[in-house]
Structure 1
């Protein structure tokens, strides 16, 4: 009788929950799912704007003239591409927490890579599509002056900013590394093998694309297409995790 009574006092286990998942983090998972949706929308807006205006050129003089002629489009693209780092921060945090029961070390490393990369991207305030807030200031000065010498100086400054913006992005490399590490952890977790496999491909492709970005040109678009797809699928998985209730 004593043994039977002791057994009945044992805490119940919610067998409906996947192993390693802590449903008390459900609000964070839901925030991650919403953030993933915002991330995808911020990627789609500039794609739609491509049909409203040409792609920003990479030559200093041409880009300054482009910004003056298409200010709204340029600023919108700049805000979208730089601003998507904010929802990405939440997604990486939520995914790292969701995977901590699978492998705490890998989840922590992947989460730190992701959060660090997006923090750096926000601090830099630029994007590899020749988007940089400093170029807007240079464009204003370029349009306000008619001096050939001053305009030449502004063009030189713009060329330097463009070169720095389109150089190897270590923030981008860290983002891809975070996706790779977290996706490798997913393969033995409860997020799903399809998302994990896509993440491994996306992360590996991203490391190569970001490292060789100055040389691969339009080849970078492959990674650019994989990235929002991965975020969308991760958002869907986080939404499912967020709907689970604590027992």
Structure 2
């Protein structure tokens, strides 16, 4: 198929962003295992005061980075799929950007870092009580607020739309599209939805990983100018 070679730099950037996300995921998991997120606001404050970077990581700062990288990936996917499914790809990239923006706004890692410093410097019980209350609000809104849940579901819908566009085009293999559909369906249940949400989020990591690997491989090919029909595999 014919494709404008002016998009090749974007394809290479998208492929590199895929690789970066694939590297960040296991790092995040390992750090979660080594330093599990605290269960109380006081413990969060203590963690931020003793190991600020670990506190930020436990509050998903790497996921924030991953979300920014996903913006680059979706721009590359839009360029690759826009001719085959202009409506689907436009809607998908729009929803993904809304999801990313919403998530970045919902994350309170740096607010918690600031509150922990204020708590350490507080000299009265009234000040400490107010800061603890503010900390409770930050932790609650982080993964239990509407913004996080909306972001999670919108990202899942964007994945489903993109995967459908893949199945309608000859740019990506059909396996890539079907794996993306599985990932999207599993991602429709927010991680905040109790035990079911945790299970779905963990299980979804498997198709997510496979999907991103397949996308990275194809984007690298497109970045080199290999615009032929993708293998059905």
TM-score class, shorter-chain normalisation, is: 0.7 to 0.9
Question: Structure 1 length normalisation: TM-score?
Answer: 0.79
Q: Which of 18, 43, 46 is the aligned partner of 2:28?
A: 46
Equivalent residues of 2:8, 2:224 under 8 A apart: yes
Superposed displacement of residue 59, structure 1: 2.0
Q: Is the 8 A contact 2:10 2:76 kept in 1?
A: yes
Q: TM-score, normalised by structure 2?
A: 0.84
Change (3 A) 1:217 1:99: closer
Change (3 A) 1:225 1:125: farther
Verify the 8 A CA contact 2:96 2:158 in the aligned structure 1: yes
**Corresponding residue pairs, total:** 222
Structure-2 residue corresponding to 1:147: 124
Alignment match, 2:39: 58
Structure with the largest fraction of helix? 2
- Structure 1 206/54 Cα, relative in aligned 2: closer, same or farther at 3 Å? same
Q: Provide structure 1 residue ranges, at least 5 long, that are not aligned to the other structure.
A: 1-17
Structure 2 Cα separation of the partners of residues 214 and 154 of structure 1: 27
Kindly state the Cα deviation for residue 152 of structure 1 after the two structures are TM-superposed: 2.3
Q: Unpaired segments of 5 or more residues in structure 2?
A: 228-233
Q: Provide Cα deviations, 1:88-131, integer angstroms capped at 9, x if missing partner.
A: 11100110121112111111111211222223333x161xxxx6
Find out whether 1:32 has 2:14 as its counterpart.
yes
- Per the alignment, residue 183 of structure 1 pairs with 163
Quote the offset at 1:149 in angstroms: 3.1
Q: Is the 8 A contact 1:89 1:118 kept in 2?
A: yes
In 1: Cα distance, 2:154 partner to 2:82 partner: 20
Offset, 1:217: 5.2
Q: Does 1:69 align with 2:46?
A: no
